[in-house]
Amino acid sequence: MKRNRSVSRVQLIAALALIIIMIGAPAVVLAQVGPRLDITSVDSTDFPTITLNVIAAGENSRRIRDLSGLRLSEGTTAIADF
């Protein structure tokens, strides 16, 4: 028995759209600029107290050492004692 392997127009368009999205996705990720926090580890052994190790980076991906302006919040509640 020979199977008919025809591809519908909808399947072809969906496949092409997926390929275009996958090709364009790295460019969008690489285009992100601005300061960021990278979480390098999480320690929850003293739960509900959570300890995070983070790296703060600026627009040029250089580490930010002065975090005096950093604000933390849980939901909409500010955390003052960190």
pLDDT in tens, 56-79: 888 777 888 888 888 888 888 888
Strand ranges in 3-63 using DSSP code E only, listed in sequence order: 36-43, 51-57
Q: What is the pLDDT of residues 5-30, one digit of tens each?
A: 565 777 777 777 777 666 665 555 55
pTM over 0.95: no
For 52, left (φ over 0), alpha (ψ -120 to 50), or beta? beta
User: b/e for 9-36, b at 16 or more Cβ within 10 A?
Assistant: eeeeeeeeeeeeeeeeeeeeeeeeeeee
Cβ–Cβ < 8 Å for 41, 52: yes
Higher pLDDT, 27 or 53: 53
